Amino acid sequence: MSNELISKKELLNLTGISYGQLYRWKRKDLIPEEWFIRKSTYTGQETFFPKQEILERISKIQMMKDNVSLDDLANMFSPVSGTQQLTKEGLIQSKLVSETVVNFYFEHGKIYQDILDFQHILAMVALEKLLTSGEVMLAECEMVIKLIHEYYFPAEAKNLVLVIIRKMGVSTGAIFEKSNVVHFDENTKVVSQIDFLQLVEELKMKLEA
């Protein structure tokens, strides 16, 4: 979770985009308002951006803008859930998640319907990413499901991050806004993390492909 910033001037020079393009993409909601950070410098007020996030976003826009409309891109980048739905069988056949994860989620998430909305699909994709990282065990995923249901689902439009930490063999997790700076003591290991905004983008792209 990098807190490094890049100035507007550096951003324009590095990416080759114009001032007009940057603010057009802002008006189209391709770049979030909160990424435009005003700070005082010795030359006056300047605009800065979270470096990693803005560079990744501009790279995606540049790669996709010739084939996808700006409105469709804005929808893809929106933190709000998509409208896509899948059946349990369709989700397994899509190979977005394994049958093991689907069955685990249905059991521990107390899911009874056969038609799954975007939020539940996203939750299972998050579990799959955590498990395939090799750092999180299946037994720890029940805690992850509860965190997602209680704290991500009600506040999905925020730029949230899920972090799994472990200390002296004991695991716990937390969900917080990405803009917050969180410090752990030196004996606490950050085992794995999920950037929900990035995951929403990736899932929308896969479901719309």
pLDDT in tens, 11-68: 999 999 999 999 999 998 889 888 899 888 777 789 999 898 899 899 989 988 888 8
- Identify the pLDDT of residue 17: 93
Instruction: List, for residues 75-124, the tens digit of each pLDDT value.
Output: 777 766 667 888 889 888 888 899 999 999 999 999 888 888 899 999 99
Q: What is the mean pLDDT of residues 127-154?
A: 90
pLDDT at 2 over 70: no
pLDDT at 10 over 70: yes
Domain spans, the chain: 5-77, 86-208
pTM for this predicted structure: 0.71
- Identify the pLDDT of residue 111: 87
Long-range CB contacts for residues 179-183, cutoff 8 Å, separation at least 24: 179/34, 181/3, 182/1
Domain range 5-77, its CATH number among 3.60.20.10, 3.40.50.150, 2.70.70.10, 1.10.1660.10:
1.10.1660.10
- Identify the pLDDT of residue 82: 66
pLDDT at 1 over 50: no
Instruction: List, for residues 144-200, the tens digit of each pLDDT value.
Output: 999 999 999 887 667 789 999 998 888 899 998 877 778 888 889 988 999 898 898
165 contacts: CB under 8 Å, gap ≥ 6: 171, 172, 173, 174, 184, 188, 189, 190, 191
Q: Where are the alpha helices (DSSP H) in 16-167?
A: 19-27, 51-64, 70-77, 88-94, 99-108, 118-132, 141-147
- Identify the pLDDT of residue 48: 93
- Identify the pLDDT of residue 206: 83
